[in-house]
């Protein structure tokens, strides 16, 4: 079976996946160590989603741009089509390993997005195993092994000289996260 990784990051309208919106997703597909494709989608919030101004200040997304974003149902179809190019959701062993910085947050939002759109089959695309460098970065920060103000992605990337073009843009964040994962894997070998 091939090693399939979906590196992904989300930008949201808050931190509660059941009430806030998934506004942007950036994805990179890697199969057996070879990057296959990247995609980013800006997504309109559902009509009942709560939009918090603080979240918009962090991610730089603007309410006035929401009408130009992809409607939620269409965005879900785009995500599913993208994923189905590389995994067969009907084959139990053919799944992606989700990877990202604090990936549990992104998984909660993407799973909730599927549910909000009436799709209960999020798990058809993903293994339960994840790849997340945040825990290692937290340990390095707490032990003083890295000299950073915190263990946020921006600080860690700066410490390791990883280019993070546009922090809090889903695709930029996941490109930097992938570079961090690859760097740490190489350093460990």
What range does the domain containing 103 cover? 4-124
Percentage of the chain with pLDDT > 70? 99
What is the value of pTM for the model shown? 0.96
103 belongs to a structural domain: yes
Q: Which of 106, 124, 142 is the last residue of a domain?
A: 124
Check pLDDT > 90 for residue 1. Answer: no
The pLDDT of residue 189:
84
Residues 62 and 93 in one domain: yes
How does DSSP assign the chain, residue by residue?
---EEEEEEEEESSS-TTTB-EEEEEEEEEETTEEEEEEEEEBPPPTT-B--HHHHHHH---GGGGGGSBPHHHHHHHHHHHHHTT--TTSTT--BEEE-TTHHHHHHHHHHHHHHTT---GGGSB-S--B-THHHHHHHHHTTSS--SS-SHHHHHHHTT---SSTT-HHHHHHHHHHHHHHHHHHH-
The CATH code of the domain that includes 109 is 3.30.420.10
Structure confidence by residue, pLDDT tens digits, 144-188: 999 999 999 999 999 999 999 899 999 999 999 999 999 999 988
Residues 11 and 79 in one domain: yes
């Amino acid at each position: 079976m091939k090693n399939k990784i979906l590196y992904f990051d989300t930008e949201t309208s808050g931190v509660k996946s059941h009430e806030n919106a998934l506004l942007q997703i950036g994805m990179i597909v890697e199969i057996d160590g070879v990057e296959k494709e990247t995609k980013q989608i800006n997504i309109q919030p559902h009509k009942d989603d709560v939009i918090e101004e603080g979240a918009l200040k962090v991610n730089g997304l603007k309410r006035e741009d929401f009408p130009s974003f992809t409607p939620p149902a269409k965005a879900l179809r785009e995500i599913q089509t993208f994923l189905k190019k590389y995994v067969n959701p009907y084959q139990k062993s053919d799944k992606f390993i989700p990877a990202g910085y604090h990936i549990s947050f992104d998984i909660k939002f993407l799973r909730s997005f599927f549910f909000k759109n009436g799709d209960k089959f999020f798990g058809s695309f993903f293994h339960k195993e994840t790849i997340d460098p945040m825990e290692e970065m937290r340990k390095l920060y707490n032990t003083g092994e890295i000299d950073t103000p915190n263990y946020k992605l921006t600080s860690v990337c700066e410490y390791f000289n990883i280019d993070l073009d546009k922090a809090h843009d889903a695709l930029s964040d996941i490109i930097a996260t992938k570079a961090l994962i690859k760097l740490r894997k190489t350093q460990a070998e």
